[in-house]
Amino acid sequence: MGEDERIAKMVMVGFRGCSLGNDHWLVAALERYPLGGVILFDRNVDRSVQNFDSPARLAKLTAELQQRSRHLLLLAVDQEGGMVCRLKERDGFQPSLSAARLAELGLEATAAASERLAAELATMGINLNLAPVVDLNLNPDNPIIARYERSFGGEVDEVIAHAKAVIEAHHRHGVACCLKHFPGHGSAGADSHLGFVDVSTCWQSIELEPFRRLIAQGYTDGIMTAHLVNRCLDASATPATLSPSIIEGLLRRNLGFTGVVFSDDLQMRAISNGWSLTEAIQQAVLAGVDIVVIGNNLDPREDVLQVALRAVNDLLDSGRIDHNRVQLSIDRINSLKAALTGQRPWNFNGKPTA
């Protein structure tokens, strides 16, 4: 396997289109490279349909993507529930409730809703849900967590209990999860989709606890980084997604996480306002990210995979990383895919749950 093929496994991209003609740029990418994954959206930022607007369209698209791919693709959506969902009731999918609403109804409600959701995702061909959110609801004025009811609450035990119910239901249906947003977004006072966000004066160390305890209990799927500056954890004021101190130091060495680290979308303005896409990819990989996520709806472009391949090859050629670093990411990604295909247990609570 050539270096480009290895690097391609570290890339998750979005694209525009509800189907894939033979001349689509993504088809060429899938036929040539073992792409790591594809992230799907129902609507674009301009409200036009991006990938699907019905269960039939989504199921057909995911089947086509897997058929076109040389290897098992991670097919991902942000299906948290409530206001943050890609599979919407208006399009014929089952209704969903927000994390905050489920927490009000109780743990049994979360477990039941998660069971229905995971079954639906599996039926639709989705094998990775970029959820649950384990941010603590510490700032009622938070414009991206509290406002959209994305947190299960402000208490660590409550958030962990509900997150476990979500994760275990997904595992029973062969769907992986991704905790977010490390190292904690719940205290923030601004939205990193829109620009620079610094939580240095409001972040609390307790925000690490949901991540710490779920990892300690055997969670190994994925964790998504936050595009937040936190000088409490990195005095250089580097956003967490691009920070070796936060990813390799805190998440890997301190908390002992052995699963896949996903970046949040590298086209979000908290990153794109300060770094080119090439620079962002390089800094994320240097920081310890395993899969760089490029949603491709904030700044649509058809060369995202080529940009990623060049960016990481430049790191290798310059000696800033070595081939072992790339292989570490591939090993983690392969391990996650092995859980998806039943070749290894999920390792949550120390036993298989799928």
Residue-wise DSSP of 77-125: E---BTTB-SS-GGGTSPP---HHHHHHH-HHHHHHHHHHHHHHHHHHT
pLDDT band at residue 333 using 50, 70 and 90 as cut-offs: very high
Backbone angles phi, psi at 194, to 5 degrees: -100, -15
**Of 66, 202, 89, 83, nearest in space to 144 by CA:** 83
pLDDT band at residue 349 using 50, 70 and 90 as cut-offs: low
CA dihedral in degrees (70, 316, 335, 125; nearest 10)?
Answer: -40
The model's pLDDT over 283-307, given as tens digits with 9 standing for 90+, comes to 999 999 999 999 999 899 999 999 9
Averaged pLDDT for residues 234-262: 97
Domain coordinates in residue numbering, the chain: 3-340
Per DSSP, the chain holds a count of helices (H) and strands (E) of 12, 9
Question: Is the separation of the CB atoms in 7 and 308 below 8 Å?
Answer: yes
Strand order in the sheet with 74-77: 176-177, 128-129, 74-77, 37-39, 11-13, 292-294
CA dihedral in degrees (216, 261, 192, 127; nearest 10)?
Answer: -100
The model's pLDDT over 178-192, given as tens digits with 9 standing for 90+, comes to 999 999 999 987 666
Question: Which of these is catalytic: 42, 221, 234, 264?
Answer: 264
Query: In the structure encoding, which two tokens stand for residue 26, read together?
Result: 């993504």
Question: Which of these is catalytic: 193, 198, 299, 314?
Answer: 193
Q: What are the CA-CA distances from residue 344 to residues 49, 107, 135, 171, 333 (Å)? A: 37, 28, 28, 12, 13
Instruction: Confirm whether 24 is a catalytic residue.
Output: no
**pTM (two decimals):** 0.96
The model's pLDDT over 26-79, given as tens digits with 9 standing for 90+, comes to 999 999 999 999 999 999 888 899 999 999 999 999 999 999 998 999 999 999
Instruction: Confirm whether 141 is a catalytic residue.
Output: no
Pick the CATH number of 3-340 from 1.10.645.10, 3.20.20.300, 3.40.250.10, 3.40.50.1100: 3.20.20.300
pLDDT band at residue 2 using 50, 70 and 90 as cut-offs: confident
pLDDT band at residue 101 using 50, 70 and 90 as cut-offs: very high
Question: How long, in residues, is the chain?
Answer: 354
% of the chain with per-residue pLDDT over 90: 92
